[in-house]
Amino acid sequence: MQGMIMLQSISHRRISCLVAVAVACWSAATFAAVPPPVGEHDQIEFDQRRAAAHMRELEGRLYRLAEVIRDAEPDHAARLMLGLERARQELIVEQMAEIRKLLNAQQIDGAVRAEKDVLRKLEELRELLLSTDLDLLLKLDRLRRLDEALKTLEKITREQERQHGLVKDLDRDGPRDDAPPFDQLQEDQQRNRSATDDLRNKVRRATEPGSPAPGELGAASGSMGKAQSSLGQGKPSGAAGEQEDAIERLERAREALEEERQKLIEQLRSQVRAKVNEALKEMLEGEEKIREATERLVPAVKADPATTGAAAARLATRQRALASVADRTIELIVETEFGIALPVALRAIERQMNVVGDDLAQGTVSEAIVYREQRIEKELAALIEWMNEQPSLASEPREGKPSKGGCKSCGDRNKLTAELKMVRMLQANVRRDTVNVDDRREGRAVEPGTRIYRSISDLEQRQVEIQDAVERLGRQSCARCATEPNLRDE
């Protein structure tokens, strides 16, 4: 037991050191993101080089430490490898190099925008390294791998169908002047076979042991190899048959991957629900504190505008941090298909947070901002209440599978009802805000660039998103669902 405690302590210190390196990257990049005064261009470029060096060091340490502790502490090793993969997928080091080029070209505004994106990625990497929910992280990583595999498989299948069509035409009509030569067809087949083999290796790492998907991809590759051989011998008939078999095998692999992905989605529901609830509460508590602080600043704005403006700018940082929480929550919901209407609601709240953050960053403090903050609180509270009232969002479909007609809602009408309730709430909010904007307009023409013009554009965007959610719900439903009494009421 003492040995286990010692190992845990050592691992914790090592991960803490890695987090410190990530923070160093973050700090250096933060300094580099500030537009330099005249004459300090060389210093800002040096700081950017230093940030990139820290990032390369972090990637190296992540890999080396993961290898060292792989056998003794597989969970921590998996977390470190996830961090390394995330850093490489996000191309952080490469993006830092691009920022240096922008700085060399004196394109400071572009460099600042790129630095903000790097800061966001570094913050997410730090949260990943410090996260205590490793099971959720690993499942999300598997989900991303399955999604990527399905996209690649779709491309391979389309290419195989294209080649099969050409070979069938060649077999039926014989050689034509405009037909591709056999050596070109053979080369195309070889290339698609190599892509299938690469995908098979990736699928093995993404699927559970015993999944039929890798085997089907291997069989498809074998058929492609036979087709390739037939094409090399100038026999389109034999090649066409093998290519048709390859397409069937690819389709079976797709079905296996889709089934595994759906099982993983169902496994994630309860964990995602807990994360969403946690994020909603964090945003509500944070917004309440920001609103209370803003209320205290309103009476002092005329007496001491400089101090008030500085305090407002600090609140803007906190407000934008909450907007980032909303953005990450939306990404989680969309990625795990947890809900259709919920991301629409959160996007509307995120936009409001960004508007408040922009106003506060400019030192603006007013009753109007307090009112908008109160609106954000009310909408967050409504989402928390909605989540608590909809236990079906965390449950598997009662009938397990879609109906024979392909309807996904017949298996869980309670979930469809919950989605429709959310849509109705969103539409009511848009209608209320439309009336408010129209009252402010007072019949006057609206000039582009004005605040009221931006409000109208925001309403338009929200209405489009609601319409898209309704259409998506419609595609998942059928006439039988629509005639259910509880759904007609919605």
Band (pLDDT 50/70/90 cuts) for residue 224 is very high
Lowest mean pLDDT among 6-10, 359-363, 453-457, 472-476: 6-10
Write down the pLDDT at residue 484. Answer: 53
Other beta carbons within 10 Å of 372: 18
Write down the pLDDT at residue 137. Answer: 80
Angle between helices 367-389 and 341-361 (to 10 degrees): 160
Reading phi first (left if > 0) and then psi (alpha if -120 to 50, else beta), residue 263 is in: alpha
The residue assigned the tokens 């300090």 is 40
Write down the pLDDT at residue 196. Answer: 96
Reading phi first (left if > 0) and then psi (alpha if -120 to 50, else beta), residue 36 is in: beta
Q: What torsion, rounded to 10 degrees, do the Cα atoms 169, 170, 176, 182 define?
A: 140
Mean pLDDT (whole number) for 217-246: 92
Lowest mean pLDDT among 258-262, 439-443, 445-449, 483-487: 483-487
Specify the higher pLDDT residue, 15 or 439: 439
In the predicted structure, residue 406 carries a pLDDT above the cut 60:
no
Band (pLDDT 50/70/90 cuts) for residue 367 is very high
Query: d(Cα 197, Cα 191) in Å, to the nearest integer?
Result: 10
Domain ranges of the chain: 2-132, 138-258, 411-490
Question: What are the Cα distances from residue 82, in Å, to 33, 79, 283?
Answer: 27, 5, 27
CATH class of the domain whose range is 2-132? mainly alpha
Q: Provide the token pair at 179.
A: 């037909």
Query: d(Cα 301, Cα 303) in Å, to the nearest integer?
Result: 6
Band (pLDDT 50/70/90 cuts) for residue 107 is confident
In the predicted structure, residue 459 carries a pLDDT above the cut 80:
yes
The residue assigned the tokens 């089934």 is 259
Against a cut of 0.85, is the pTM above it? Answer: no
What are the percentages of helix, strand and coil residues in the chain, rounded to 5? 85, 0, 15
Write down the pLDDT at residue 39. Answer: 53
Q: pLDDT tens-digit profile of 41-71?
A: 666 666 667 777 777 777 777 777 767 776 6
In the predicted structure, residue 220 carries a pLDDT above the cut 90:
yes
Write down the pLDDT at residue 276. Answer: 94
**Over the chain, what is the mean pLDDT?**
79
CATH number assigned to the domain with residue range 138-258, chosen from the 4 options 1.20.120.660, 3.40.50.970, 3.40.50.300, 3.20.20.210: 1.20.120.660
**Which residue, 351, 369, 361, is CA-closest to 294?**
369
Q: pLDDT tens-digit profile of 281-315?
A: 999 999 999 999 999 999 988 878 888 889 999 99
Q: Could you give phi then psi for residue 25, rounded to 5 degrees?
A: -60, -45
Task: Name the percent of the chain lying above pLDDT 90.
Answer: 38
In the predicted structure, residue 20 carries a pLDDT above the cut 60:
no
Write down the pLDDT at residue 334. Answer: 92
Band (pLDDT 50/70/90 cuts) for residue 152 is very high
Are residues 76 and 131 in contact, defined by beta-carbon separation less than 8 angstroms? no
Specify the higher pLDDT residue, 444 or 192: 192
Is 138-258 in the same CATH topology as 2-132? yes
Question: What are the Cα distances from residue 45, in Å, to 27, 48, 93, 107?
Answer: 15, 5, 15, 12
Write down the pLDDT at residue 446. Answer: 62
Mean pLDDT (whole number) for 66-78: 68
Q: pLDDT tens-digit profile of 382-403?
A: 999 999 887 555 444 433 444 4
